Structure formats: structure tokens, C-alpha cells
């Protein structure tokens, strides 16, 4: 498997430099996404701490488990559905899309 950067928080946030509130919301969404991945054993390293501060701001595909890659990879991935949904805009974000997809991934294994 080729290793590549899956997420670079600073690079993603910089895309919203003209709209500071989008930067804040996007960064907040990634804090909760990383917590979800971490809490469900979908990454092999710590991404956020107990206070949701980033431990890692760049995540490589090799740091995501096989189940995690099924959740976040591909043009029709549950991750992209979640990103495009209004569910991620609440604080904390509604993770039901990801939770349901993870149940389906695990039941298919």
C-alpha cells in the first residue's frame, strides 16, 4: 500500500482563510471526527487528547486501520456523506452517519 497524507488539518483550514468562522467549524469537525476514529479503534495512533486538542494535525493512510479506510476512502464513502451533511455542523457533530456505516462495515467482516 502506498502511504500518503489523508488529512492535513492546516492545509484544509487554509482553504477557508477568507471565512474565519468556516475555519473554526471545519477544525472543530475534524476534532470530533478524529475522536470518533480514535474511540472506535480505527486509527493506530493518538490523534486528539482528552480535551480534543490535536496530537497530530497530519494523518497518513497507514495510520488508519482497514475498517477505518473503508469508512473514509472513496468517492461515496460514509465520511464524505457525513462531511456534506448538516449533521457535522452541530456541536458536538451528529455522528450517526458514521456510526451506522461502521456497524455495517463490522457486520460484513
User: Does a cis peptide bond (omega within 30 degrees of 0) precede residue 10?
Assistant: no
Band of pLDDT at residue 16, cut at 50, 70 and 90: very high
pLDDT for 109 beyond 80: no
- The answer to whether 38 and 46 have CB atoms below 8 angstroms apart is yes
Q: What is the pLDDT of residue 86?
A: 78
Share of the chain above pLDDT 70, in %: 99
Burial 39-74, CB ≥16 within 10 A → b, else e? ebebbeeebbeeeeebeebebebebbeebbbbbbee
Q: What is the pLDDT of residue 1?
A: 61
Q: Which three cell numbers stand for residue 49?
A: 487528547
3-state secondary structure of 74: coil
Amino acid at each position: 500500500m502506498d502511504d500518503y497524507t489523508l488529512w492535513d488539518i492546516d492545509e484544509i483550514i487554509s482553504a477557508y482563510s477568507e471565512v474565519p468562522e468556516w475555519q473554526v467549524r471545519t477544525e472543530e469537525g475534524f476534532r470530533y471526527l478524529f475522536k470518533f476514529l480514535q474511540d472506535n479503534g480505527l486509527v493506530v495512533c493518538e490523534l486528539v487528547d482528552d480535551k480534543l486538542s490535536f496530537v497530530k494535525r497530519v494523518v497518513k493512510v497507514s495510520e488508519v486501520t482497514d475498517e477505518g479506510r473503508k469508512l473514509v476512502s472513496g468517492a461515496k464513502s460514509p465520511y464524505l456523506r457525513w462531511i456534506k451533511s448538516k449533521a457535522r455542523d452541530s456541536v458536538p457533530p451528529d455522528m450517526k452517519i458514521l456510526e451506522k456505516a461502521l456497524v455495517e462495515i463490522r457486520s460484513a467482516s
